[in-house]
Chain A
Amino acid sequence: MLDKPASALRIRERLIESERLMDETGCYDGITELELRNQDPLKFETLHTKLRAYCVSAREMARRISASPGVREVGEMVVAIYTPEGDAIALSNGIMVHVHTMSRFIKWMIRNGYEENPQIRDGDIFANNDAFIGTVQVPDVMDVVPIFHSGKLVGWAGAVCHELEAGGITPGGDVALAQERFTEGLFVCAEKVGENDELRRDYVIRCERNLRMPIYWVLDEKAKVASCIDMRESVKALIDEIGLDYWMQVSKEFIEEGRRAQLARTRQLTVPGIYRGHTFYGHVTAGKPGYQPLGDPNWLYNIPIEMEITSDGKIVMDFEGTQPWGYHSMNCTPAGMDGGMFVTLTQHMNFEGLVNDGAWMATELKLPHGTWTNPDNEMVATATSWALLLPAYGVFQRLLSRSFIARGFVEEAFVGQVNSPMIEMGGESQYGTPFGMAHFECAAAGSGALAIKDGLDTAYVGWNPESDMGNIEIWEQNMPMLYIGRSIVPNSGGAGKYRGGCSFLSTWLVSKTDHLRLVTSEHSSRVFDNGGLCGGYPAPTCQKHRAVRDSNIFELAENGAPLAHHTGTNPYRSELEVRLEGEHVTLEGPYITAPHKTGDVFTHSYNGGGGYGDVLERDPVKTAWDVENGFLTKEAAEGIFGIVLDEDEEGFPVANLEATKRHRAEMRAKRLARAKPVSEWIAKERERVKAADFAPEVKKMYASAIKLSPRFTRDFSTFWDVDAKSTFGVE
């Protein structure tokens, strides 16, 4: 192989040349003029629409090959077409976060001399799920195939599915117990896994022998390969039609057009300036089984973001001041951070025009080295990157939304996404066979409110805007648990003039197994990991886990007695405690315990979104509807929103507008009487800060941020008029 250096450098040189041209001209691949677009705009647009249609149709076809309910039911898949250098030209709907992570994967292979060894040939299939090469987490397995035409590499087709089982230390894919890379599961590191359009048998055998439920992964591989081949053949046929030279030029113009459109859209929809926001995440593992004592067991993560919109329309996001990486599964690689940016932009700004990697090129991420956003150690685990990634990009959505509000595009302002905690399981199935699965109904959280209406109830997640919780019956086929409830959680959206979308809670009866391991992740402990906007409150997102072991549910069922179908609205005594006898368990943090068995009951709640605007401005009539339909309780309507509800003859809630007006006037007066000047609060609080009178985890958070970030140190010191370093004992 080493006797062919010219060949080995061909694509790599082209990649380097492309990047040099971008540096020199500021335009993608040096495309300073959109010549083909100017020559024939209709042909230009039509071709891109065709490419997008190839992607959408290939994904839909693949979903029907897959055996995984994650892909079939919930649509956890995306496909895209790339340039030879690995830049996305067109993409499907689905988990769009991975369009750019796949781009990194292709570029990684090019930079690492893959053209020389293992060689890139027509019919090859390459796979990857290594986040430091280009993905978010181990279950996000991507396959790409090169597209050759007339003997020349003319592009790539790629596909990603989120696998429901990745073979890690805990079952599923969001491996909560992973504290280093080595426990996350089966890694495929930019590997050639097939030739001549066929997956290698030895690769399939490796999957079959290292996964708890290989059917999901292996059939998803076949689905992805089928979709890639489908896109490849469509692109080749298109090149036959339009000519190779035209294709090579137009594919690059599509991306440059996407870049320009993003800059133009930013100038059209936003206001230049500096925007700031933050959120937090609590990770509590003290005393939980399985965690190695590699560091402090409990973490409080601060996630501050400073976003600058420059006068030319570029969006720059800076994560300085956030926390270091840790021995847990929540670290994220720059690829994942890029992906988060990409999927957010595609939802919020690129709703018209050409959607591709050009949008990402009009942005910049500043990811401080050594933090969870850019670990300086490639052995770290990233299995639950979403735990920090989703709250972070929820902040981004709020920052963007403030700019939309300033500019007048209130219909685009959106309080943003939330974490939607994952439940995963494994052990012995209801069929008596080994199994493992991530339950993907989490793909249907509540969304943040909009600036003109309430958020979506149980219908949005940031990573896949095509959200779906899947059918109960399908999930029941795949796990030894039966649903005894799937309920809207009242008051689970953040309060506000427009409330956040509500979440739901599932209640299951463990059935036909003596060994069911349940594990949860991406569930913040002790702090809310979201926010409100313009006076709206955050959604209550630090729910604990509730289970009943050895319950008497079969006895109750036999006697026709009422069962518990949800946890109810009494925070001090849940419906499980009211209705069921057995060993009641309430736990915070990741749920990792001894296996469950038939007769146990488990509940898992997802998250609602943050609210928008002052609660005292909420529409009383809409609120009556919310109470009638279980989204709010009557007590919350009156106590939080100041809305007095009467009942009509049939017992349905009706807003009493006069009483509401009076009650709100009283609440406003009480609010004013209770509030104190911020200056007064700062003076008092400063004494606490000077004494560093905080919980150990809070102190550790400050010390870590101060150690890593001069800006955080300066801002903290200036705000409180203290020496931040000496206050927290940082050298």
Chain B
Amino acid sequence: MTSYSKEVIADLVAGTLPWPQTRRIMSAYKDDDRFFKYVAVLQDRVGWKDPILLPVGDHLFICQSGDERVTKCECGHSFGDYRRNWKLKAAIIVRDSEESLREIYPNSDLPDPEWMEIREFICPQCGTLHEVEAAAPGYPIVHDFEPDLEGFYRDWLGKPLEPLNKGG
């Protein structure tokens, strides 16, 4: 069975693994023990102790925080219960003018701000840009991901999560 060391996974996640080695990993049979090594690598990276249950972005994690399961930024900021859309608790910058769009697209033709705006969802604590939506004005904010967290741990990983003491 294919397996890699935690150090290799750490380098892979950080984008620092040399390309020939990365390429070999891409071409090889997948390593079935990846998930928990990956979570361990991320747990080492964050500066807090709440156990990570599932990464949902580059710096966003569902974690066990006391009795709750919350979506957390790598800086430690909590966006609340993981079943709710974390974006609703984020900070936002909306680019809906030629001037603000030009800051990101310096030399191309721009979208018509009457037809499309760029929405940046930001951690209000550390300023990390977690997600960008390109949407028509008035389009509801998307709830990107609603994982079947319990089912994943129970049926796919074979390690059921402890039941929550209270609803959320």
Residue numbers of A with Cβ under 8 A of B are 267-269, 271-280, 282, 300, 302, 311, 351-352, 402, 405-412, 451-453, 489-492, 495, 497-498, 526-528, 530-532, 534-538, 540, 542-544, 568-571, 588, 612-616, 633, 635-636, 639-640, 668-669, 671-672, 674-679, 681-682, 685, 688-689, 694-695, 697-698, 701-702, 715-716, 719-720
Contact = CB atoms under 8 A, between A and B. Distances in A.
Contact of A272 (B34, B55, B91, B156): B156
A273 B152 contact: yes
Nearest to B101: A540
B143 A276 contact: yes
Interface in B13-60: 13, 15, 17, 19, 22, 25-27, 29-30, 32, 34-35, 37-39, 54-59
Contact of B155 (A311, A408, A527): A311
Interface of B: 9, 12-13, 15, 17, 19, 22, 25-27, 29-30, 32, 34-35, 37-39, 54-59, 87-94, 102-112, 114-116, 118, 120-122, 124, 126-149, 151-152, 155-156
A627 B104 CA distance: 16
A633 B106 CA distance: 9
A452 B39 CA distance: 17
B45 to A, nearest CB: 13
16 contacts: A271-B148, A272-B152, A407-B34, A410-B38, A411-B25, A526-B116, A527-B116, A531-B133, A534-B58, A569-B107, A614-B59, A616-B129, A633-B107, A668-B126, A672-B127, A675-B120
Given A267-B156, A677-B91, A698-B114, A452 B12 contact: yes
Contacts of A530: 134
A273 B136 contact: no
Contacts of B92: 675-678, 681
A527 B112 contact: yes
A671 B107 contact: no
Contact of A527 (B19, B22, B134): B134
Contacts of B110: 540, 542, 571
Given A278-B142, A678-B88, A269 B130 contact: no
A317 B108 CA distance: 33
Contacts of B105: 491, 540
B13 A410 contact: yes
Nearest to A527: B116
A169 to B, nearest CB: 27
A405 B107 contact: no
7 smallest CB-CB distances across A and B, nearest first, come from: A408-B38, A540-B108, A675-B91, A719-B140, A273-B147, A526-B112, A534-B58
Contacts of A542: 109-111
B147 A271 contact: yes
Nearest to B93: A675
A227 B8 CA distance: 45
A529 to B, nearest CB: 9
A269 B30 contact: yes
B155 to A, nearest CB: 5
A528 B109 CA distance: 10
B22 to A, nearest CB: 6
B58 A543 contact: no
Given A701-B136, A716-B140, A406 B112 contact: no
Given A278-B135, A412-B26, A676-B92, A570 B111 contact: no
A302 B148 contact: no
Contact of A715 (B109, B135, B140, B155): B140
Given A407-B35, A697-B115, A685 B138 contact: yes
B130 A535 contact: yes
A396 to B, nearest CB: 14
Contacts of A273: 145-149, 152
B50 to A, nearest CB: 17
Nearest to B11: A452
Contact of B58 (A531, A535, A672, A689): A535
A526 to B, nearest CB: 4
A689 B12 contact: no
A410 B88 CA distance: 26
A272 B147 contact: yes
A61 to B, nearest CB: 27
Given A640-B104, A688-B138, A702-B138, A535 B132 contact: yes
A527 B111 contact: yes
Given A302-B136, A410-B12, A689-B138, A452 B22 contact: yes
Nearest to B115: A526
A405 B57 contact: yes
A698 B134 contact: no
A268 to B, nearest CB: 6
Among A300, A535, A720, the one with the most B-chain Cβ atoms within 10 Å of its Cβ is: A535
B140 A402 contact: no
Given A280-B136, A720-B140, A614 B58 contact: yes
Contact of A411 (B12, B87, B139): B12
Among B25, B56, B115, B140, the one with the most A-chain Cβ atoms within 10 Å of its Cβ is: B115
A406 B115 CA distance: 32
A344 B77 CA distance: 36
Among B89, B92, B121, B146, the one with the most A-chain Cβ atoms within 10 Å of its Cβ is: B92
A671 B123 CA distance: 10
Among A300, A530, A538, the one with the most B-chain Cβ atoms within 10 Å of its Cβ is: A538
Contacts of A568: 107
Contact of B114 (A491, A544, A694): A694
